[in-house]
Amino acid sequence: MRKLFVIMAFMGASMVSMAQESTIGDEKHKVITNSFWSNWFVQVNAVGTSFWGSQENSAVKFSKLFKGYRTNMGFSLALGKWFTPGLGLRTKFNGVWGRSVISEDKTMNACRYWTLQEQALFNLSNMFMGYNEQRLWNFIPYIGAGVGRNMTYNTYGMGLSIGLLNTFRLSQKVALNLDINYGAYEPTLDGCGLKGSDRHTWKNKDRMVSVEVGLTYRLGKSTWKPAVAQDAQDALAQGELDALNGMLADAQAENDRLNELLANHQSAPSVQQPQQTVDSQLVTAPVSVFFNLNQATIASQRELQNVADLVAVAKEHHAKLVVTGYADSQTGRAEHNRQLSQQRADAVAAEILKMGFSKEQLEVVAAGGVDTLSPTVNNRRVTVEMK
């Protein structure tokens, strides 16, 4: 039993260690870490199991694998957590009606049992294709270790299992399960195990093959926020900082010019007029709206306030607005980037029209993929400027 607990502790420690590296790699696999209480799930399944014992050795013909004297129905319950979209752990109980195969009489073979395992889950769909909360089918192999008890014969046995969990999305919270499992346990589990050294060989194990069908219900927060969303927020913050620095530099340059004019005893009107020009230039400076990787949804509604200010000035001066969409050329094909830049420009143009701006005064341009700004994320944007 002590060995089993060591194995289970090692599996848990390894899973947490791998979870710490979940944001390393390609952008499509990056997510923002959720709290410990997020991404838990419970599972309930109906189970059909075929049993064969160590006393049968490994010479069980496939045609006899599903005979009634070695099969029975049961159920399973599991509680688990996803530490990343690709790596998770679950604790699974399985039972309770089984067969100890000592004859071809299913009544004589009948017994009651349970198994309890800790299993490491590997969502290969998310690992290889990137996280997608709308994905219909997830392909999830797993390995496990645990203990089983035969309640009829009051015997125990430790064991290992491998399996394949398939989940089919029904809603954000609910999924349909199809779980196929193979388990091998010490030959003492079924109450009629081998004695002596043969009990330690792999072929002389009590074995089970199970097929489970049921439901998964996700508890609390069950989705992951792509880390690229944070990149867009960083780009927004950097854009605002650059704009403020530009305004400060322009104001400082204008202040120096005014000081020079005063030093040369220029008249007051000539001093006042340039300030109005500078203010107008600052107000009508281009505004940027940033987007996440491969998305045409505005990343932050805060940016629309800057757009609204520019729209107000354009209305006052009866000016035209030019909305230009961009994508970053380092990801995606050229034609896809052109379409994406068009979609982004259309999204911002739609918001401008909601602000009461005239469609006739609005020009929408798709510039495609560019690499003019660094870091790359800053090229995923739309600019709005007066013309």
385's CB contacts (< 8 A; 6+ apart) are 284, 285, 286, 287, 310, 321, 322, 324
Distance CA 209, CA 121 (A): 18
3-state secondary structure of 48: strand
Q: Which two tokens stand for residue 161?
A: 């299992």
Question: In this predicted structure, what is the pLDDT of residue 247?
Answer: 61
Distance CA 363, CA 222 (A): 41
Q: Which two tokens stand for residue 21?
A: 């590296």
Please report which helix (H) or strand (E) contains residue 89, including its range: strand 87-99
Question: In this predicted structure, what is the pLDDT of residue 27?
Answer: 52
Burial class of residue 335 (count of CB atoms within 10 Å of its CB; 0-12, 13-18, 19+): exposed
Helix axes of 228-263 and 268-283: crossing angle, nearest 10 degrees: 170
Distance CA 200, CA 158 (A): 12
Question: In this predicted structure, what is the pLDDT of residue 137?
Answer: 96
Global pTM value:
0.58
C-beta separation of 347 from 374 below 8 A: no
DSSP symbol at 31: B
DSSP H stretches of helix in the chain: 2-19, 106-109, 124-129, 228-263, 268-283, 303-316, 334-354
pLDDT in tens, the chain (387 residues): 455 444 454 445 444 444 433 343 445 567 777 888 899 999 999 999 999 888 776 566 777 788 899 999 999 999 999 999 999 999 999 999 999 998 889 999 999 999 999 999 999 999 998 888 889 999 999 999 999 999 999 999 999 999 999 999 999 999 999 999 999 999 889 887 655 445 555 567 899 999 999 999 999 888 887 665 555 556 656 655 565 566 666 666 666 666 676 677 545 454 444 444 444 444 557 888 888 888 888 877 777 888 998 898 889 888 999 999 999 888 888 999 999 999 999 999 999 999 999 999 999 999 999 988 877 778 889 999 988
User: Would residue 80 be called left, alpha or beta, if left means φ above 0 and alpha means ψ between -120 and 50 degrees?
Assistant: beta
Q: What phi and psi, each to the nearest 5 degrees, are found at residue 65?
A: -65, -30
Question: In this predicted structure, what is the pLDDT of residue 282?
Answer: 45
Q: How many angstroms from the chain centroid is the CA of residue 330?
A: 23
Q: Which two tokens stand for residue 196?
A: 């002596």
Beta partners for 226? 31
- The C-alpha angle with vertex 16 and arms to 9 and 86, in degrees rounded to 5, equals 115
Characterize 18-29 residue by residue with b for buried, 16 or more Cβ atoms within 10 angstroms of its Cβ, and e for exposed.
ebeebeeeebbb
Cis geometry, peptide bond prior to residue 96 (ω within 30 degrees of 0): yes
Q: How far is CA 343 from CA 52, 296, 372, in A?
A: 60, 6, 20
Q: How many residues does the chain have?
A: 387
